[in-house]
Structure 1
Amino acid sequence: MDNNYKQKIVQSVPQKGFFGHPKGLFTLFFTEFWERFSYYGMKALLLYYMYYSVSEGGLGLDKSTALAIMSIYGSLVYMSGIIGGWIADRLLGTSRTVFYGGVLIMLGHIVLALPSGTTALFVSMVLIVIGTGLLKPNVSSIVGDVYSEEDARRDSGFSIFYMGINAGALIAPLIVGTIGQEYNFHLGFGIAAIGMFIGLAVFVATKKKNLGLAGTYVANPLAPEEKKKVFTRIGLAVALIAGLGTAGIVTGTLTIDRFVTLVSILGIVIPAMYFIVMYRSEKTTDVERSRLLAYIPLFIAAMMFWAIQEQGSNILALYADERVQLQFAGIELKSSWFQTLNPLFIVTLAPVFAWLWMKLGKRQPSTAKKFSLGLFFAGLSFLVMIFPAYLNGTDSLASPLWLVLSFFLVVLGELCLSPVGLAATTKLAPSAFSAQTMSLWFLTNASAQAINAKIVGYYTEETEIVYFGIIGGAAILLGILLFLLSPKIQKMMKGVN
């Protein structure tokens, strides 16, 4: 897209009207706020809904199966962003892709709100996975469209937008979680559906006035002669996957365990293929190849980090429900409330970290050293979870403060690694593949959760100390190794800091 058209888009957006920012930021902030409200509200209840007995309103699934499904779900949500990016770039443009994504997410929550058993669970998961893949990467992309590239407000605009994400994630477990656990799971999922409906209503009602041309263009449209060939291939691929899936379910060869294994393998194979294709491409220069090799240890470190961070919504959610004293300081706690801790600490501490890196300036740690700090805090967040069982055994309930400490430590790690990782991804990627770099960074999380799906089954009260000890210890050892290798990685980055 040429610069003239970029300027035309910016001029079509009212440039004042939301805390000194373009009016379009209001639309995108509240669309994403409500989408995250619906997603994290549903996520706060989903594990409990799967393993609670039927008499308690749940599906009565085996705990280890429920934990594996949670991880696979998370992994597929992040993988589907690749599809969402392609559809926006080649077919629909970001604005229409966001709208259709929101509709699918809302339908997914509506299906969960109906008491229709395990079939409804899987139908809703498919809808939400595809819907989130269409909406999530593209909303962020439209935020970039409403500012000109020289606009000094741009970074601050993204910060406000990310506050919207975390604010939605913060209040969702308190509202959806409380209603779901106090009254009825399906009522909770219904509230999540209403949240997504409000987000869609805001988007549709304010889009024309606030967003102008932003998100309406198709960046790299398919030529008419390409369309037929591409649609035929997509149709055949969908038919083949659906056919194999149906045959597997009917004959009993596609079990949940085998599906988990399949996604776990994909979690390793897809990023490996990405790296091989980019490294071997004729469009990649020697300097870019060196940077790509420097990115591989960072990618592995990020996978290890997310493997721990993402267990906050399954292993630690299970721990909160079964191992924590839920009477605290005269308050009756709900196990779903612990899911608010991560966004609460991010909202509180993100400005502190932004100030710290600014203050340190050129003295701040290198990218690889920040990653090693991220791993250190993540490992520590699991190692502290050894103490309740070590000090008092697994028969007595642990203080909720142990969980609070664990979530606090992992957020310290997240703020060292996550924003830095996103920036490093854009800087280290070969220029011929710049549009796909965001997908590559999201794959660190997809791969982590795909691997988690195989690991979480080993967690029981009997293996608690060993489980937290081995994973926490492995993260710290990997962090130390990365710290020692950081000068060499920095050298291979060829001038990128």
Structure 2
Amino acid sequence: MGRPSAAMFLNHPRGLAVLVALKIWELFSYQGMRAFLVLYLIATFALGDAEAAVLFGSYASLVLATAVFGGLIADRWLGAKEPMIVGACLIMVGHLGLALENFLGGRGLLQPEAIFDMFCGSLAVIAVGTGLLKPNVLNLIGGLYRRDDPRRDTGYYLYYIGVNIGSFSAPLVCGYLSSRYGWAYGFAAAALGMAAGLLVLVLGRRHIVSAEQDESATPRVITLRHRLGIYASVAAAIALAALLIQQGVVLAMLLAATLMFGAVYLLTVAKAHGNEATAAVWGFFAVMPVPALFVILFEQFSLSVNLFADRLVDRDFFGATFAAPQLLSLNSICVLVVLPLLAMAWAALRERGVDPATTTKFAVGFALMAIGFLVLTTGVVASAGRVDLKWVVAGYVLITVGELCIAPLTYAMVGKTLPKPLEGVGMGLLQLSFSIGNLCAGLFATLGAVPKGSSDIQIKEIYAEFFVMASLLGVGAAAFCLLIGRWFAARDARTAPQRLPA
């Protein structure tokens, strides 16, 4: 296992196929449950739109915030593979806990308070498990290639295509089971998906090797005492997450403190690597708001847009009626169709020497997302009765194309700008930015909360106004990206440090 495998997958290391397959199943479990989670919160616990959105945002935020914890454990002690296996096990157990909670609660075998506590505890197990798995998968993908390997970006694009296979099938399967047979069946399907991912990882882990360093040359020796201490901290993180899911304000404060700690750590270590590494870290900080702004808009698919589709959209398609969670598959369909075309377009521009800067691509992405929300607004205003499905499809397409101009490039940015010893924490901080965006997405969605007892006319007015606000946020984010692009250009002209990857 010391030397990189010569086996290839689509002209890429075979380890890429293993990691992509793992993420397909992990995303199947996560996206499948997430597709109907806000509807479940409202139906099962009688929460209002605003309460459900904040709790959803808190959970989604913790899923990514724990990535800093997972990245640190991998960098300092266990390496990347062991936390991934443990994380996959935790995710599977968490989904089983959700299914069991709903099954027992529906039969009156648990008190209401115990039902909610078990629900939050299961979400916490999933969140911490994802934190152990997600950043290490991303870093291992980067480690399959040498730093100067031109296939690295394409590898992340293949990763993005792969995970959207899971994201495409998850809402269709889990959304259908939850709406047709009951919530517990949707949760159980998510657990089975993660079980399949765990099997892929265990069987294929020998193919996951570094392209630049023989791992056997620097073995990690961890005593039993240290290992027990590490997993005791994992258990403590789960207990803390179960509390924070219900405490949005405290969670926000903790995220801010974690971000500051991670930033200081990153800068401290960067200084030991010289001025070039320090300049790269500051460049990394400049684009940190981009993932947060992106997620605030994108997560409305699972929040406000999901509830909008459930309440106002005519979901009949050639005689078949889709449940609102199943419409989330539109996002992944668009990704699978558009991403290869977009990757070829960027490659063609690069060959001609006119490839736009990363910040310009970000700006284009936010502009497209803004237009997508305007399309949704137009659909609400133009429809006398229920909103035609074509408006939702058009909005999804535009917002998804905007997503593809932003999300994949943020991952590739870490491996290109940060020194190798900082990649784990750097990827964790990137996930932390996404995490803050998730929490803010829940808070932002409260602006479009529909009071109970509202008429259809009032509901349409609320959503029309909310989608306009989302569009304005997209315009502001695009302007911010152009501004930092100018800052990078001016800095490069003065000092010519390492550039932001294009």
Q: Give the TM-score of the pair, scaled to structure 2.
A: 0.82
Identify the residue that residue 403 of structure 1 maps to in structure 2. Answer: 392
**8 Å Cα contact 1:385/1:403 also seen in 2:** yes
Q: Cα distance 1:424–1:150, how it changes in 2: closer, same or farther (>3 A)?
A: closer
**8 Å Cα contact 1:9/1:146 also seen in 2:** no
Q: Cα distance 1:175–1:20, how it changes in 2: closer, same or farther (>3 A)?
A: same
**8 Å Cα contact 2:67/2:428 also seen in 1:** yes
SS of 2:46's equivalent in the other structure is coil
Q: Cα distance 1:217–1:313, how it changes in 2: closer, same or farther (>3 A)?
A: farther
Identify the residue that residue 101 of structure 1 maps to in structure 2. Answer: 87
CA deviation profile, 1:299-334 (whole Å, cap 9, x unmatched): 223321221011111111111111211223322122
**8 Å Cα contact 1:260/1:453 also seen in 2:** no
Write the letter of the residue equivalent to 2:462: T
Identify the residue that residue 489 of structure 1 maps to in structure 2. Answer: 488
1:260 maps onto 2:248 in alignment: yes
Q: Cα distance 1:126–1:327, how it changes in 2: closer, same or farther (>3 A)?
A: same
CA distance in 1, matches of 2:338, 2:134: 23
Identify the residue that residue 110 of structure 1 maps to in structure 2. Answer: 96
Identify the residue that residue 263 of structure 2 maps to in structure 1. Answer: 275
Instruction: Give the stretch that moved more between structures: 196-205 or 343-352.
Output: 196-205
SS of 1:80's equivalent in the other structure is helix
Match of 1:27 among 9, 14, 18: 18
Identify the residue that residue 193 of structure 2 maps to in structure 1. Answer: 195
**8 Å Cα contact 2:168/2:333 also seen in 1:** yes
Q: Cα distance 1:62–1:206, how it changes in 2: closer, same or farther (>3 A)?
A: same
SS of 1:363's equivalent in the other structure is coil
CA deviation profile, 1:32-86 (whole Å, cap 9, x unmatched): 221111111111121221112xxxxx33332221111111111111111111122
Match of 2:334 among 328, 345, 351: 345
Same amino acid, percent of matched pairs: 26
1:328 maps onto 2:317 in alignment: yes
CA distance in 2, matches of 1:296, 1:365: 20
- CA RMSD, Structure 1 to Structure 2 (Å): 3.4
CA distance in 1, matches of 2:217, 2:181: 45
Identify the residue that residue 38 of structure 1 maps to in structure 2. Answer: 29
Alignment of 1:355-434 (within 5 A): 355-361=344-350, 362-392=353-383, 396-429=385-418, 433-434=422-423
1:89 maps onto 2:88 in alignment: no
**8 Å Cα contact 2:66/2:131 also seen in 1:** yes
Query: Which sections of structure 1, spanning at least 5 residues, go unmatched?
Result: 53-57
Select the structure with the greater relative contact order (CA < 8 A; seq sep ≥ 6). 2
CA distance in 1, matches of 2:166, 2:233: 38
Identify the residue that residue 136 of structure 1 maps to in structure 2. Answer: 134
**8 Å Cα contact 1:293/1:492 also seen in 2:** no
**8 Å Cα contact 1:301/1:375 also seen in 2:** no
CA deviation profile, 1:17-46 (whole Å, cap 9, x unmatched): x45554444433332221111111111121
CA distance in 1, matches of 2:447, 2:423: 39
CA deviation profile, 1:356-396 (whole Å, cap 9, x unmatched): 11111221222221221122122222222222333347xx3
1:275: how far off? 3.4
Q: Cα distance 1:336–1:219, how it changes in 2: closer, same or farther (>3 A)?
A: farther
Q: Cα distance 1:273–1:382, how it changes in 2: closer, same or farther (>3 A)?
A: farther
CA distance in 2, matches of 1:163, 1:291: 28
CA deviation profile, 1:415-438 (whole Å, cap 9, x unmatched): 212222233334444676343211
CA distance in 2, matches of 1:229, 1:488: 45
Alignment of 1:143-222 (within 5 A): 143-145=141-143, 156-207=154-205, 210-211=207-208, 221=220
CA distance in 1, matches of 2:230, 2:145: 37
Write the letter of the residue equivalent to 2:83: T
CA distance in 2, matches of 1:35, 1:478: 30
CA deviation profile, 1:444-492 (whole Å, cap 9, x unmatched): 2111112223222221335323322223213203313432552232232
CA distance in 1, matches of 2:218, 2:486: 38
CA deviation profile, 1:203-237 (whole Å, cap 9, x unmatched): 334445x558999869795776xx96897799689
- The count of residues paired between Structure 1 and Structure 2 equals 469
Write the letter of the residue equivalent to 1:15: A
CA deviation profile, 1:119-145 (whole Å, cap 9, x unmatched): 221121011001111122223334445
Q: Cα distance 1:37–1:476, how it changes in 2: closer, same or farther (>3 A)?
A: same
Q: Cα distance 1:135–1:430, how it changes in 2: closer, same or farther (>3 A)?
A: closer
Instruction: Give the stretch that moved more between structures: 159-168 or 419-428.
Output: 419-428
CA distance in 1, matches of 2:128, 2:276: 36
CA distance in 2, matches of 1:83, 1:365: 34
**8 Å Cα contact 1:304/1:448 also seen in 2:** yes
CA distance in 1, matches of 2:75, 2:340: 33
Q: Cα distance 1:487–1:255, how it changes in 2: closer, same or farther (>3 A)?
A: closer
Q: Cα distance 1:152–1:474, how it changes in 2: closer, same or farther (>3 A)?
A: closer
Q: Cα distance 1:178–1:217, how it changes in 2: closer, same or farther (>3 A)?
A: farther
1:442 maps onto 2:431 in alignment: yes
CA distance in 1, matches of 2:280, 2:347: 25
Identify the residue that residue 55 of structure 1 maps to in structure 2. Answer: none
**8 Å Cα contact 2:67/2:131 also seen in 1:** yes
Instruction: Give the stretch that moved more between structures: 183-192 or 19-28.
Output: 19-28
Match of 1:312 among 287, 301, 307: 301
Q: Cα distance 1:380–1:217, how it changes in 2: closer, same or farther (>3 A)?
A: farther
CA distance in 2, matches of 1:142, 1:181: 37
**8 Å Cα contact 2:70/2:136 also seen in 1:** yes
Q: Cα distance 1:360–1:450, how it changes in 2: closer, same or farther (>3 A)?
A: same
CA distance in 2, matches of 1:148, 1:163: 22
Q: Cα distance 1:255–1:445, how it changes in 2: closer, same or farther (>3 A)?
A: closer
Instruction: Give the stretch that moved more between structures: 68-77 or 402-411.
Output: 402-411
Identify the residue that residue 110 of structure 2 maps to in structure 1. Answer: none
Instruction: Give the stretch that moved more between structures: 81-90 or 384-393.
Output: 384-393
